[in-house]
Amino acid sequence: MERGREETRRIQAFRNAAAVILPLPADEVVARAEAGTLTQLSGIGPSTAGVITDAVHGRLPDRLAKLEAAFGPLVQGGDEVRARLRGDLHSHSDWSDGGSPIEEMAFTAIELGHDYLVLTDHSPRLTVANGLSVARLQRQLGVVDAINEHLSESQFTLLKGIEVDILDDGSLDQTDEMLAQLDLRVASVHSKLRMDAAPMTKRMIGAIANPRTNVLGHCTGRMVMGNRGTRPSSDFDAKAVFEACVEHDVAVEINSRPERRDPPTKLLELARDMGCLFSIDSDAHAPGQLDFQQYGCERAHAAGIDADRIVNTWPRERLLEWANPQR
Choose between 173 and 283: whose C-beta lies nearer to Zn ion.
283
Q: Which amino acid would we find at residue 103?
A: E
Q: Compute the least distance from the CB of residue 195 to Zn ion, in Å.
A: 16
Judged by beta carbon, residue 33 or residue 137, the one nearer Zn ion is 137
Nearer residue to Zn ion within complex by CB, 188 or 220 = 188
155 secondary structure, DSSP code? S
Q: Which is nearer to Zn ion, 108 or 188 (CB)?
A: 188
Minimum distance, C-beta of residue 255 to Zn ion, in the bound complex (Å): 8
Residue placing its CB nearer to Zn ion in the complex, 32 or 160: 160
Packed helices 265-273 and 293-302: angle between N→C axes, nearest 10 degrees: 60
Q: Please report how close the Cβ of residue 30 comes to Zn ion at its closest, in angstroms.
A: 40
What are the phi and psi torsion angles at 264 (to 5°)? -60, 160
Smallest distance from Zn ion to CB 283, Å? 4
Q: How many C-beta neighbours within 10 Å does residue 141 have?
A: 15
Query: Toward Zn ion, which CB reaches closer, 43 or 264?
Result: 264
Which strands form 251-255's sheet, in the order they lie side by side? 87-88, 116-119, 157-165, 184-188, 215-216, 251-255, 278-281
Q: How far is the CB of 9 from Zn ion (least distance, A)?
A: 21
Do the Cβ atoms of 174 and 162 come closer than 8 Å? Answer: yes
* DSSP string over 48-114: HHHHHHHHHTTPPPHHHHHHHHT---SSSS-HHHHHH--EES-B--TTTT-SS-HHHHHHHHHHTT-
From the list 201, 192, 194, 139, the residue with the least C-alpha distance to 167 is 192
By CB under 5 A, name the binding residues for Zn ion. Answer: 163, 188, 283
What b/e string do you get for 28-38 counting C-beta neighbours within 10 Å, with b at 16 or more?
Answer: ebeebbeeeeb
Name the residue nearer to Zn ion (CB basis): 29 or 287. Answer: 287
* Nearest distance in Å: CB 113, Zn ion: 22
Percent helix, percent strand, percent coil in the chain, to nearest 5: 45, 10, 40
Residue 52 CB, shortest distance to Zn ion, in Å, is 32
